[in-house]
Structure 1
């Protein structure tokens, strides 16, 4: 009893200290006030056209912002107050990045803020914006700040014309055409960022028609709102700046191209440097008798055409192709004007990376199924294997791991090891060379790989796999990527099976078929579109699709299948089709510009012929750090099936069909820290019925009733190079014996140790989950 009272006393003292000591008010000077709230109100919200952009823009300008609070505590202010005042180093980071100084009223520059806000609103099309600041100081040592903004109606572009009169009709027409291509139509709302983007586009348009020195700084838009009948209309006219240099409107053609391999510019005229013609009008400057790279492969990446007009896009394509070859530390492209001639000589400097390199990585592997352990990876790289910038990579890897968390019977059989070797050849072009196609303006790659791997789960089984692939990858545009592997062979076989595991497979023939020794012979193709960069309309999304097919062609040549079954080289082969699609959408919300990230993932595998289910290495699973974060990986499904076997056998729960939907609210705390609140839902199913796993097959009319749901909170640490992520999740809808999936809100009890050990899942990972 005395011990309990003593503990209660400690708890009371701790709570009292938090209430009185963590508010941060003691660090506010006596003659100053702490800004506890900043509110921005708009007198007539109906006049806001792009309200989200306006609110986030205004909010970003206001300084200082109120300190973040957790309940009543301003821990950041306390950390800053307790940390020595340093201008750099560890204490500066702790005090100003983990913590932060108090938001003092004395640091609020009202007049300057009003000017900045009104100016920014002007650039968003609100030409008559007015801002008023009100400060409430009724609370001791505290201040609440309110910004009242009358934006007025935004202005729109009524007319867009070119008023440029140059020395040639051709150039005048170029400017007129470029203006039409900007897609700024009548009725588009005025926005400075939109006009700046239009200037950049016009400059590129003119550059691509022979005018090398022309830039966006040579033109300007003039906005006039006084000569239109429309009250909120603007006439935009494109003009040349009067103080531009004369050469900006000079037309240039290209002279011969010089490619310099690992030569500094000061060796331009050295007699030891020879220049060989590698193509009409393209010369290679080299000190060696035998060039490091075969000239025919270099010339494929040169898009300049001697004698033609200069085009900026040719320079961009050349740079993009040569850097994409992977052999060069950097590529320098200069266009040297020829004296007294309107010509430019492209000089391309190629500066190589070391031909060979070796790297060793030693660390801790943390997998999505909560297996953790030390690992090592050794990699040897040759960046110019066949003298055409072909990259040959040989990798050795190995690790030992054990599962942490989960039921005891799973952990007892979870010790495992893995080692493997992979050889990969990446050719920066389409091979074989008789394939005379140019898929895209971007560089295309041909890849060959062979890898062998051995995985052993102690006390259960071992699995050997081998994979051979040949295929192509390329970019369709800046955001679109494709891959096509017409030849892909996988072989897998079990070894060293324990008697318990053999008995388990004997009792579960459906599972045994997924583990059986077999070939996977087929193709793989995919597409992705990554639109995650911030854009003017702030729409961000990501889409990917992956299609796999196996067993189709080989079945045509299997003449003995009636006698021996479906086999290839006396080994059964899998037959299936598989399509996986993923769509992510990101929304910027609230005045602080926080994100809501969403994802929908749908995967369907169709086994046929001699396959009852997808092979184990191609099946879907769900749960873990990048999926349902309130469930451990591979522990949900398939369907409503719940494994209650008392056998000490842990087999991953996998399936042929997957559906998952996720949503996450991400809130920035400062430059380095971010919190998240998430909810995940999904499950996996079998395509065909399995008598030993009732409820595991997919039924469209019932699938939404069979979704597991989890929720939780997360912390992310952004250290620029990587994002370290911690997510604490727990289930709120899960499968229960006999009843199927049920909501379990009434069971949630974070103060109960049994509930915590059985439900709380701490996920650690690198990068965002989606």
Structure 2
């Protein structure tokens, strides 16, 4: 034992020495590899990202505390071509033989080939050279730290920089900052030469970012400059720019105080060879011209048609193709109003929202005919999109059901259909895909197919019999969409036809907030191949087959035919099978399989209304510090229930009311989702998602249609389980496609950069589905209050992502960390081993 311990210790020490030496392999003598930056503010270590980012040099990137890219770089030969030349010249006969066999030119080119240099060049490109401490760059970091604290009001700060050796060819940079006391703003005054903007400044003086009694902060000055400019330019001051706002700081070093003077001088205007000072004035809009066929004033001389509508003059090259109201309703610039940047921005957004023009050009020119000399003419240049456009697209996709799919789309768009900027889009699509989870008796790769037709008519306004303009104002950019579609799915088991009809309204009440209201959403699902049920739901058939043998319904060794399985269910429910009574667990199992089959093969008619509210604070593609909220309430069946008596339709075999022979669904459904991202810098992000949803049947239904139910598991959910394989509750996912009407889910993952465009993530997913307030009574499946929370499944694992810039390919390895299907006391970590890895592939991040 002592010998083994000595050997292990020796190997460990040798490993440490080898590791230490290999990392500094490319570090020149007398130089130090940067291993750490330490910043102390008033003798306290600071780890704040924005301060640490001020240091120019950063240590080599690490993967799980190990500098993997540095190691890859060190593995490369320093000069592979030189090594090759040395090998050639070492033996003169070697070069002679190779020249006879090839040629001198080929021999030289071989030195630059992948065989000789390629792998080393690949390692250098993928890896990362050692970060050598550079004293000049360290001085730059020192100055940046000093400037940062100066901008925070610490005018007397001092920064000391030291370079410490902490091992062979290794070092660290330390910065010690003594801030001193912050300078406080003691008073604020103004010096504004133009009377018009002096009065305007006073109207919002209290909104200033610079406040008496607070410490000096440079960022507040920048924000105040922007605030003043925005305030002025939204209230008529056309010529005003940010650079007109200046600040004088009168510093009292003894008292550590300063007086701030806001200075705005009159503008300088060139008249001939002289610069003349002119006061700022407030400008009003005197005239608005709209050019519908050109993007610049160069084409004005080709105008041959014009019309005046209200206070707008609309020009066109030929006959005007648009009803004037359709255009003017999208314009917020009004005659007689003060010039406003907000009005220009809203007008640009609103005109773009019509989807019949490209992004407009809006120019202002001074109205020389106006006697006040304080008037502007607004010229709006519109470039129409093509009236008719054909688009062809192909896409590769993956989902929780479809492992791989190819989709083709063909769409034809007609713009300005009724001359009020309406858009009609007719499209057709086809898809073939592969799924290992679905019935595939012929064992073909593409075992899923689908095709569909869609028509979508869009109005850039609220299309409704009642006037909604007081509630949904035009600056909310409202739209109305009418969608009609037909889809047919084949080779996926039951095969389905899906007819849809939707009328919905969308608007943006405030920036980052959107509302969608589905006034009418009709979905009719017709199953075409119900006789194939037990081919699809094979586990249900296998269970029935076992029970049929147990009760001698069929001889041992034989199997139920699929029609025989239905007969077996009927005989069991009718009590014609000996020794099987309604109190038996097996009876309940058979009955449950029968009820589930009946529910999943029946055609569905869903007529619903819903409202969805969304908020997303993401400011751009690169913003990784944001949150999004989505809440939805949906109600189905109430409209049909209200008018059902007038149809005089017979009841179904279940005793429920029907429309055209089909039971209609009736339920209320609500969902809430919160996604939050925290950016830790250096491409490190913590992401979190919370979801809760419940659908409660009532009235004409005691269950939820399969298409409206919830499932758990899969690449965008709990990655420790395959899609549809988790739950309900602690049942163990015994069905082929497990679904329920109540779901809780929580996921979090820490994303970090490995190197280049390769990223990784550590994740934990928590959640499950349950039945509640429906026709399922088995307590293994149902949510029974807080005690059911112990059946929340926990999946965890590691993932890898490669960023292709326009999309991210994702590969996750999931494990069952806590499996509620197992007995209590045996649930933790039983599924955490490589043999039970659940592979998940996806495009882009899961949330």
TM-score (norm 2): 0.78
Q: Aligned-pair distance for 1:444? A: 0.8
CA displacement at 1:16 relative to structure 2: 9.1
CA contact (8 A) 1:42 1:148 kept: yes
- State how far apart, in whole Å, the 2-side matches of 1:561 and 1:99 are: 73
Q: Does structure 2 conserve the Cα–Cα contact (< 8 Å) formed by 1:213 and 1:247?
A: no
- Whether the 8 Å contact between 2:194 and 2:279 is mirrored in structure 1 is no
Aligned to 1:631: 721
Q: Partner of 2:534: helix, strand, or coil? A: helix
Please tell me whether residue 766 in structure 1 is matched to residue 798 in structure 2: no
* Pair 1:154–1:509, CA change in 2 (3 A): farther
The answer for the alignment partner of 1:744 in structure 2 is 828
**Which residue of the partner structure matches residue 141 of structure 1?**
169
- Which residue is 1:6 aligned to? none
- Aligned position for 2:669: 578
Question: What pairs with 1:112-511 in structure 2 (closer than 5 Å)?
Answer: 112-152=140-180, 154=182, 159=187, 161-168=188-195, 170-182=196-208, 190-224=216-250, 226=252, 235-240=259-264, 246=277, 249-265=280-296, 267=298, 269-270=300-301, 272-274=302-304, 276-288=306-318, 290-339=319-368, 341-369=373-401, 371-404=403-436, 415-432=447-464, 435=467, 437=469, 439-440=472-473, 441-458=475-492, 460-497=493-530, 498=532, 500=534, 507-510=593-596
**Contact kept? 1:27, 1:77, Cα under 8 Å:** no
Match for residue 56 of structure 2 among 34, 59, 63: 63
Q: Please give the secondary structure, in 1, of the residue aligned with 2:134.
A: helix
Shift of 1:528: 0.7
Q: What is the aligned counterpart of 1:604 among 673, 694, 698?
A: 694
**Matched residue, 1:3:** none
Q: 1:217 to 1:482 in 2, by over 3 A?
A: same
What is the rounded CA distance, in whole Å, between the counterparts of 1:499 and 1:106 in structure 2? 71
Aligned to 1:100: 128
Q: Aligned pair in 2 of structure 1 residues 275, 176: CA closer, same or farther (>3 Å)?
A: farther
**Aligned-residue offset at 1:579:** 0.5
Shift of 1:534: 8.4
Following TM superposition, by how much is the alpha carbon of 1:689 offset from its aligned partner in structure 2, in angstroms? 5.7
Q: Distance in 1 between matches of 2:119 and 2:306?
A: 60
Q: 1:727 — aligned with what?
A: 812
Q: Which protein has greater RCO, CA pairs closer than 8 Å, 6+ apart?
A: 1
- Paired with 1:593 and 1:149, the residues of 2 have a C-alpha distance of 27
Equivalent position of 1:5 in the other structure? none
Q: Distance in 1 between matches of 2:42 and 2:400?
A: 50
Q: 2:608·2:636 contact (CA, 8 Å) conserved in 1?
A: yes
User: In the alignment, which of 740, 759, 773 is matched to residue 655 of structure 1?
Assistant: 740
Match of 2:616 in 1: 530
How far residue 119 of structure 1 moved from its aligned partner, in angstroms, is 0.8
Deviations along 1:676-704, one digit per CA (max 9) or x if unpaired, are 22111011111236558551111222232
Q: Is the 8 A contact 1:708 1:741 kept in 2?
A: no
Counterpart among 746, 749, 771 of residue 664 in structure 1: 749
For residues 533 and 266 of structure 1, what CA distance do their matches in structure 2 show?
A: 34
Q: CA RMSD in A?
A: 3.7
> Deviations along 1:13-62, whole A, 9 cap, x unmatched?
xx99996799453333345332122222333449xxxx77xx22222122
Deviations 1:195-226 (A, max 9, x none): 32232122111112211111221113344552
Match of 1:7 in 2: none
Specify the SS of the correspondent of 2:144. Answer: helix
Q: Deviations over 1:424-461 (max 9, x none)?
A: 11211111476351513131100000111222344x31
1:662-741 alignment runs, 5 A limit: 662-669=747-754, 672-688=757-773, 694-737=779-822, 739=823
Contact 1:380 1:393 in 2 (8 A): yes
Contact (CA 8 Å) 1:605, 1:656: kept in 2 or not? yes
Larger radius of gyration: 2
Inter-partner Cα distance in structure 2 for 1:545 and 1:741: 37
Aligned 8 A contact 2:427 2:453 in 1: yes
Deviations 1:96-125 (A, max 9, x none): 874333211237612221111211222234
Task: State the secondary structure of the residue aligned to 1:111.
Answer: helix
Q: Distance in 2 between the 1:421 and 1:356 partners?
A: 18
With over 3 angstroms needed to count, the CA separation of the structure-2 counterparts of 1:566 and 1:307, relative to structure 1, is: same
The structural deviation recorded for 1:519 is 1.0
State the distance in 2 between where 1:181 and 1:92 align.
Answer: 60
Q: 1:623 to 1:108 in 2, by over 3 A?
A: farther
Aligned to 1:210, the other structure's residue is in SS state coil
Matches of 2:440 and 2:174, distance apart in 1 = 57
Pair 1:94–1:700, CA change in 2 (3 A):
farther
CA distances 1:513-570 after superposition (whole Å, capped 9, x unpaired): 25521211120111011123389x9973211111110011211111147856321233
Contact 1:705/1:741, CA 8 A, preserved across alignment: no
In the alignment, which residue of structure 2 is the partner of 1:569?
660
Q: What SS class does the counterpart of residue 137 from structure 1 fall into?
A: strand
8 Å contact from structure 2 (residues 159, 176) kept in 1:
yes
Within 2, Cα distance between the matches of 1:557 and 1:471?
A: 22
Q: Distance in 1 between the 2:759 and 2:162 partners?
A: 31
Distance 1:323 1:259 in 2: 14
CA distance in 1, matches of 2:21, 2:323: 68
Contact 1:43 1:148 in 2 (8 A): yes
Distance in 1, matches of 2:520 and 2:168, equals 75
User: How many correspondences in the alignment?
Assistant: 726
Q: How far apart are the structure 1 equivalents of 2:726 and 2:767?
A: 9
Deviation at 1:660, TM superposition (A): 0.9
